[in-house]
Structure 1
């Protein structure tokens, strides 16, 4: 009896330890207009201010990665050839900036590019699948958006371009990891 109990306790400790070692050290905080100190910077806007990586829940679409502009409580969701706006159910990506990097990628071979890498989950589109977080630089500013990573061979980057949904095949995707070979 004692041996069985001891074995169960040791097994439970090992499972908890293993699960905790796999946990990422990033998280999301509720966003209501102010930027937390540990928010992950996604790039710069045209004025040179930092832009951030957010996520918003839209009951008609899913959980979608979005760009957060400091001081602006509303985010824009470019999805299904439409632009949607949201001011509720928004979170902002937080953690240690040093644990993230942007990896060049393209729509046709994204899945090969990501082998043995951890793309940061950007949410999901209901009835389609998981999405990742991407960015491009356009006319001197960063545009944060979604990568339709569920679509093998056609994993396009979708973003808001002044109120119009745009899709491009070449972009950078957000990747997480402590020991990253950046070469």
Structure 2
């Protein structure tokens, strides 16, 4: 049975919230970085990267690093880098101060994020994905955290052309 993004969106309790109430929103990514894009990391030259998401067929919508000018996104899944240009979006906000990165570990995530609203970065099957980031090879790269899955809350991201998992990272929250 294949899982499509919209099935999950509509089943998700946050589906009916208007983006303005969330403080962030996902815009279609067409190759141009919009002025309200939220910088999410740094590339090897310490230039800003952004947070993107794309649809991975049969899996869901996966958050990842977005590099200006890229034509497809690298998504972490099944321990490899998966490329997709389906439904590419970029994380944007009208108020960059409404979002912040909080350092955590997989074990401490429930404690550190208690009472806070995590940014929803996508869906994988029936799990909601949040957005995390970590240093890898001189870059600050974004990836996915299944924040609602106790015991499986590492950060999964693409680095060195494969999916990596780390237990210590930063997670994106709404202030």
TM-score, scaled to structure 1: 0.81
Distance 1:108 1:27 in 2: 29
Q: RMSD value over aligned CA atoms?
A: 1.6
SS at match of 1:65: strand
SS at match of 1:76: strand
SS at match of 1:56: strand
Structure 2 runs not aligned, ≥5 long = 1-16
For residue 90 of structure 1, report the CA deviation from its aligned partner.
Answer: 0.5
Q: Which has the higher helix share?
A: 1
SS at match of 1:47: coil
Q: Is the 8 A contact 2:28 2:89 kept in 1?
A: yes
Among 23, 35, 38, the alignment partner of 2:33 is: 35
Question: Would you say 1:121 and 2:120 are equivalent positions?
Answer: yes
Question: Would you say 1:51 and 2:31 are equivalent positions?
Answer: no
Task: Give the corresponding residue for 2:168.
Answer: 170
Q: Is the 8 A contact 2:80 2:158 kept in 1?
A: no
Higher Rg:
1
Distance 1:163 1:125 in 2: 20
Q: Is the 8 A contact 2:41 2:65 kept in 1?
A: no
Deviating more after overlay: 22-31 vs 38-47: 22-31
Alignment: residue pair count: 157
Question: Would you say 1:74 and 2:35 are equivalent positions?
Answer: no
Distance 1:25 1:107 in 2: 25
For residue 139 of structure 1, report the CA deviation from its aligned partner.
Answer: 3.6
SS at match of 2:75: strand
SS at match of 1:112: helix
Distance 1:56 1:87 in 2: 6
Task: Give the corresponding residue for 1:111.
Answer: 110
Distance 1:116 1:64 in 2: 24
Question: Would you say 1:89 and 2:87 are equivalent positions?
Answer: yes
Distance 1:123 1:168 in 2: 19
Structure 1 runs not aligned, ≥5 long = 1-18, 178-183
1:115-169 deviations in whole A, cap 9, x for unaligned?
1111101111114x11110001234321110012232033010010121110000
